[in-house]
């Protein structure tokens, strides 16, 4: 049986709680050291070492030795895609503890996805940029069946001249020094709606961090600071009323 492609071994690799936690943590795109991941997963370093070895063998992650640390990262974006596809079908589990509940809530609220913002903040920011006239939506149907957005719901975002002006005033760099496209988007797994990626997505997060509007917390969680709480609605029209804490 399954002579085609071995879905089973890959799925099995992802199907163990500690390993899944590791992979999900690495979804942020950053590399992480073994010990960090061990505490993350809540198992002994020796146990995690075994898991990491298996993940490397399976081609899901790669290692990179630096001094006495060994940094692990996802082997390819496709792995992240697969994890998100899995997350999309995964039933939302009954929450088992308050810590988990608040963390689950926090990560839905605002998190980093590779190098840009995701979660409710990510999609609201994207919406705000559109409703504020900084971005324009070209909603043409592209003929593709999108599992998340539905049939033919593909969008395209373009920067308006007033958007370029406003963002330049905020010192957000708008000219990618590389071939990376200025504006892209990903479909957010918790919101099932698009958030900005591409050069602009990365530049916005970097700038927000610089300005102290947001900061990185544990895991992929992003926290909105008091400064951002007042500046964001003001400058970009993002309503943060839904952000407690």
Partner DNA sequence: CCGACGCTTCGGCCTGCGCCGAAACGTGGT
Partner DNA sequence: ACCACGTTTCGGCGCAGGCCGAAGCGTCGG
Burial state string for 174-195 with b = 16 or more CB within 10 A and e = fewer than 16: eeeeeeeeebbbbbbbbbebbb
- Comparing CB distances to its own copies, the nearer of 2 and 65 is 2
Q: Of all helices (H) and strands (E), which one includes residue 209?
A: helix 198-210
Cβ atoms within 10 Å of 68's Cβ, excluding its own: 6
Q: Is 198 in the site for its own copies (CB under 8 A)?
A: yes
Q: Is 62 in the site for DNA (CB under 7 A)?
A: no
- Comparing CB distances to DNA, the nearer of 16 and 115 is 16
Residues 106-165 close enough to bind DNA by CB under 7 A: none
| Distances in whole angstroms, Cα of residue 191 to Cα of each of 3, 54, 61, 224 | 36, 32, 27, 18
> ∠ at Cα 174 (172, 178), nearest 5°?
125
Total site size for its own copies, rule CB under 8 A: 80
Q: Is 218 in the site for its own copies (CB under 8 A)?
A: no
Please tell me the distance from the alpha carbon of residue 18 to that of residue 38, in angstroms, as a whole number: 9
Closest by alpha carbon to 75, among 146, 23, 122, 110?
Answer: 23
Among 67, 96, 169, 234, binds its own copies (CB under 8 A): 96
- Comparing CB distances to its own copies, the nearer of 1 and 46 is 1
Residues 175-204 close enough to bind DNA by CB under 7 A: none
Look at strands 111-113 and 116-118 and give their pairing.
Answer: antiparallel
Indicate which of DNA, its own copies, none lies near residue 45 (CB less than 5 to 8 Å, by partner kind): DNA
Q: How far is the CB of 215 from its own copies (least distance, A)?
A: 20
| Distances in whole angstroms, Cα of residue 106 to Cα of each of 30, 75, 123, 183 | 19, 27, 15, 26
Q: Is 35 in the site for its own copies (CB under 8 A)?
A: no
Q: Is 177 in the site for its own copies (CB under 8 A)?
A: no
Among 54, 70, 73, 155, binds its own copies (CB under 8 A): 155
Q: Could you tell me which stretch among 40-48, 95-103, 115-123, 202-210 binds DNA (CB under 7 A)?
A: 40-48
Indicate which of its own copies, DNA, none lies near residue 177 (CB less than 5 to 8 Å, by partner kind): none
Indicate which of DNA, its own copies, none lies near residue 98 (CB less than 5 to 8 Å, by partner kind): none
Contact 181, 156 (CB under 8 A): no
Q: Could you tell me which stretch among 65-73, 92-100, 161-169, 202-210 binds its own copies (CB under 8 A)?
A: 92-100
Residues 9-28 close enough to bind DNA by CB under 7 A: 12, 16-18
């Amino acid at each position: 049986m399954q002579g085609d492609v071995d879905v089973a071994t890959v799925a099995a690799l992802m199907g163990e709680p500690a390993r899944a936690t590791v992979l999900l943590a690495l979804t942020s795109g950053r590399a992480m050291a073994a010990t960090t991941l061990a505490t993350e997963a809540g198992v002994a370093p020796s146990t995690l070492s075994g898991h990491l070895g298996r993940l490397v063998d399976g081609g899901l992650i790669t290692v990179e030795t630096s001094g006495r640390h060994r940094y692990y990262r996802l082997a390819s974006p496709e792995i992240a895609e697969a994890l998100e596809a899995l997350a999309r079908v995964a039933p939302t589990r009954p929450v088992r503890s308050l810590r988990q509940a608040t963390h689950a809530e926090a990560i839905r609220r605002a998190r980093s996805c590779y190098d840009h913002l995701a979660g409710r903040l990510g999609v609201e920011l994207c919406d705000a940029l559109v409703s504020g006239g900084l971005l324009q939506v070209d909603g043409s149907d592209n003929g593709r069946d999108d599992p998340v957005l539905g049939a033919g719901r593909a969008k395209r975002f373009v920067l308006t001249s007033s958007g370029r002006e406003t963002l330049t005033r905020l010192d957000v760099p708008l000219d990618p020094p590389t071939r990376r496209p200025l504006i892209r988007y990903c479909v957010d797994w918790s919101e099932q709606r698009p958030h900005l990626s591409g050069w602009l997505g990365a530049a916005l997060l970097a700038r927000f961090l610089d300005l102290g509007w947001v900061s990185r917390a544990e895991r992929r969680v992003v926290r909105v600071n008091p400064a951002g709480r007042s500046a964001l609605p003001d400058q970009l029209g993002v309503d943060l009323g839904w952000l407690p804490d």
